[in-house]
Chains A and B, each alone.
Chain A
């Protein structure tokens, strides 16, 4: 799947600005962005719910795909909608009828897969948020699509539900080779799932990168938990010549220099009377990378604005 210069403007307000997404077969693509960044609008344009102001979508080598191509896609966009007066099975039956799925075992198979077989005769009105979310994923996968577009699939789920959904998605990717595009603002979720990520901010796609490359680029750091931060910083600067550090929480310092010399750093601090409670060598997380990426963007945006 590919988008070329995909743009959506409502009057003077551009919500998606020349977005070029590229997703290869087999990818688990994490589409990251803050609330209101343009993730959902981009997905809506891909499946034809919103008409782009300009730009194109390519799906399975088809430019601006029509409905027939979209049948190879499973979607769950925004808050999943159901006919609340109908049962779980009836909702899936409507979906199967309209998508042209004739397999009589499909509903049963799907309900077992998403763990809703016992609730098949319950009306959707009586389902919990987590069950509805699972039903939405079930509806998206029942016809065994080649590409699955999921917008915030873990919204409103408890930690157990989030884990179940994550495992289900990984299973779909591994066993059925389904390509996944998962949009989310929950970075830890994407971190555990994605093989490739795209970061969207204020409607612009800032970066697309493979997570394997990303992990290599993420700096490692030494995180110290200490009692006297000011004294520690003085020793780090004066005795060890470390200038690249960050004081995050009170009593927590992250060192981005000389990380490989952690034993020497700790020894020097202790020798100078600093109480080191904990010292851990870590790699920067996706969250750090994401915040760094959008902060850089914000800074350059304001620099441009001020220059004007």
Chain B
């Protein structure tokens, strides 16, 4: 397994995935700044940390995550088919699923870096603005916990994007899937009761309740519904992926 992991890391060289991740953080930073300026012009106030983090969290959850996850996962999995390298890797001594696990293991730190960068960029941007409200260590710890939870929930999105890539053997298909998730997420974002049962919107609805002044917060008692839908989104495609990856014919792609 270590050999596979080493090779998966080597395969990332010169792919410039860092640009996708950094670009995402910059994009949300830009949206953030626009929101702050809008807030100042219309309400006269600069921002509160809760408001800033909640705005960023929403942008990241329903705008950035679906696209970046589907793009990264799709690229790492589908490129083996699109570049015909599946012809070679599946003749090695390892069970096919080990390669899939290797790819999952590489995706985890990439997503971690993405969330971490989004978090750091938001805090950094807030601190750079003159006259920003004070930020205590307890607040940072609270927001870190929220983003940590978001990271764990985002991992549940990976198998479904992988499934699309394995079936269609194309990262374009996976990206289209990401767009569909984005649009459906935007539709359900303001309907917490529906959103809890809709796994792609569940993290937004669940984590929203951790922001004290959020008008769309759902009672914590209902979080289990969202957890179940997320769990299903993780487990079902994961099992199908392992079965498909093991059995699928590597014919002409």
Contact = CB atoms under 8 A, between A and B. Distances in A.
Contact of A47 (B14, B91, B249, B251): B91
A139 B247 CA distance: 25
A40 B87 CA distance: 11
Contacts of B95: 67
Interface residues of A, number: 34
Q: Which of B84, B87, B89, B249 counts the most A-chain CB atoms under 10 A from its CB? A: B87
Contacts of B93: 67-68, 70-71, 98-100
A218 interface: no
Contacts of B84: 78-81
18 contacts: A40-B252, A44-B250, A49-B251, A77-B87, A79-B84, A80-B87, A81-B83, A81-B86, A85-B11, A85-B14, A86-B10, A86-B11, A90-B13, A93-B10, A94-B7, A97-B6, A98-B4, A98-B7
B85 interface: yes
Nearest to B14: A85
B83 A98 contact: no
Contact of A44 (B94, B247, B251): B251
A82 B6 CA distance: 17
Interface of A: 40-41, 44, 47-51, 67-68, 70-71, 73, 75, 77-86, 90, 93-95, 97-100, 123, 139
B13 A85 contact: yes
Contacts of B252: 40, 78
The dominant DSSP class at the B interface is: loop
Of the four ranges (under 10, 10 to 19, 20 to 34, 35 or more), the interface on chain B belongs to 20 to 34
Nearest to B99: A98
B7 A49 contact: no
Contacts of A44: 249-251
A104 B29 CA distance: 47
A85 B15 contact: yes
Given A67-B94, A78-B252, A98-B3, A86 B88 contact: no
Nearest to A47: B91
Contacts of A95: 88
B251 A98 contact: no
